[in-house]
Amino acid sequence: MPVAQKYCCGNLSFTNKTWRDLHEIFKDIIQFIYYGMVF
């Protein structure tokens, strides 16, 4: 049981990190498009 729990927790933190990275990239893309349309 602890092994599965450890795997789940590790997986969750990995997903969290990836989601944060994707969010940062997404934010940059939105800003890029926004400024591209404004200027």
pLDDT given at position 15: 72
The pLDDT of residue 39 is above 90: no
Residue written as token pair 């940062």 = 24
Long-range contacts from 30-39, C-beta under 8 angstroms, 24+ separation: none
Instruction: Classify 39 as helix, strand or coil.
Output: coil
pLDDT given at position 29: 93
pTM passes above 0.75: no
Residues 1-38 pLDDT 10s: 466 555 555 666 777 788 888 889 999 999 998 888 87
pLDDT given at position 19: 82
pLDDT given at position 12: 67
